Amino acid sequence: MLNLIIVITIQFSGCQAKIKQEAQNSESRPNIILIMSDDMGFSDIGCYGGEIQTPNLDNLAQNGIRFTQFYNGARCCPTRATLLTGLYPHQAGMGWMTGIEAENPAYQGDLNSNCVTLAEVAKTAGYSTFMTGKWHVSKNCNEDGPKHNWPLQRGFDRFYGTINGAGNFYDPATLCRDNTLINPFIDEEYPSEDYYYTDAISDEAARFIKERDKESPFFLYMPYTAAHWPMHAKPEDIKKYDGVYDAGWEEIRKNRIVKMKELGLISSDTELSPLDTYPWTEAKNKDVQAERMEIYAAMIDVMDQGIGRVIETLKGEGIYENTLILFLQDNGGCAEEIGTKGETGSWATTAEELVPLKIDEIEYDVIPRVTREGKAILKGEGVAGGPDTTYVAYGQPWANVSNTPFKEYKHWIHEGGISTPLIAHYPNLIKEANSLNSFPSHIIDIMPTLTELMGANYPEEKDGNKIHPMEGISLVPLFKGEEISRDGAICWEHEMNRAVRLGDWKLVSKGELLDGPYARWTNSKLGEWELYNIAEDRSELNDLADTHPEKLKELATIWDEYAERINVFPNPWTESKKEN
């Protein structure tokens, strides 16, 4: 049976109908594997310039296409909402994050009823649908709460993963199988004496493929939590990177940009953005700082190993050559200093917080204070990470490395916050192996791509609710070596960080900060526009706002129209709602 895996779409109804008809008339359709990692920068994996060992992803790139100007949504929840629905996040109800209470339904923190997911669309074409990994698009994470926006209720046949957005890799918060919350110690279907969440995501994905209905194509969504904080990895994987980062962040950034230019990912005249932290010579606890990056690298390494096991499963099932595999990331490197500062000590502040969990108890805390065995979990400037008794991030300096050569991070809409690798591997369609494509593309393009290749029906209405039309375009011609164009701009908004990309031009604004300990990420007001020619200045170092006022006005008008259309305003960023 011919199997396939995907990408792309065409918004013009006549052409889309013709393609759908051809797909439906074919003897078989592609399998689809959509892999996404968490909180990683543009240059982390080997085939995009990094020193981290990712041989399986590198091999997919060498035999497929690497996109050099593909964009995500700058943050986990908005990116996932867009990737799953093909809409801008506000249209799907995820203008910010889960759990927020706002008057504007664009910020309801839950997938709304005016969108459909990739899994729901795939079901219209007879696909089996599986998911392993991080969901993070449902307001409710509790076993006894409403589950209408959990994976099985949004089109997936089988699910293994976490409902919320982060947690201990050795005992994940809100770990779930299908519709039931579990923990690794009571899960008879995946018994493991050495449990590690990244491995479980990979192993369960391979299992779902083996146990699938062989008569139907399948869609598999694999959103890993790696390499989101906390920095957790096994000793044998960390050891592989012993000493690799002892030279410090400046040296690694310089090495990466050289490799990126050699690979052709950026132009030879691309400049490295200024160092956005203190120099390595002034760093305290250099051994701890270096080890944090070693652990981060190990987390990515383990993910790549798991992807390799999934690939071996495809080969063992005889469907590797006819499967499209896509790999991307949900946002840029994360500058959040979670647990990295201050004196070394416990996250717990009271004795009550050190009460261990029972063996059958569900872990709900994203940042737990105690392990299930009753050991205190540590943080502080002396803690590097690694075992389950630690909980820290890798910090802003290393995030600056991850986003080489760009500036800014997760949350923001400058290139460092939204630039992601996209690897597309599908030998039956992609004939120009190890190729690069610089067409500016966005996660809104994934839904139309998959819908086209599956021969699926994207509905105008579902359960009596009007469904927003897809926002993106098909990338399929690019797989064939053909050219495409986009009729219109790509737009962003997240926490009053905003941008417009039209052709080579990008208008971008960093939200101004308000007061409060977490204000850097949750309380913003509109800032001044900056204008860049991305073709000449991908690192966004030469602001042309003053010299090209007409272009600024043109793009600002586009953004204003976008903001009105998708209900950016009223937004929830007010003093009364800020987090303290």
Active site residue ranges: 76, 136
> What is the DSSP secondary-structure string of 211-257?
TS-TTS-EEEEEE--TTSSS-B--HHHHHTTTTTTTT-HHHHHHHHH
Report the C-alpha gap between 144 and 364 in whole angstroms: 13
- Three-class DSSP category at 275: coil
Strand pairing report for 490-494 and 497-502? antiparallel
Residue appearing with tokens 């770990």: 175
HSE (side-chain half, CA atoms, 13 Å) at 470:
30
| Residue 261 burial (C-beta neighbours within 10 Å; 0-12, 13-18, 19+) | middle
HSE (side-chain half, CA atoms, 13 Å) at 35:
28
Report the C-alpha gap between 319 and 24 in whole angstroms: 20
The set of residues, in sequence order, having a beta carbon less than 8 Å from that of 361 and lying 6+ positions away, is 183, 372
Do 253 and 400 contact (CB within 8 A), yes or no? Answer: yes
Beta bridge mates, 223: 36
What tokens does 60 get? 């997919």
- Three-class DSSP category at 483: coil
Q: Is the peptide bond before 570 cis (omega within 30 degrees of 0)?
A: yes
For residue 39, the 8-state DSSP code is S
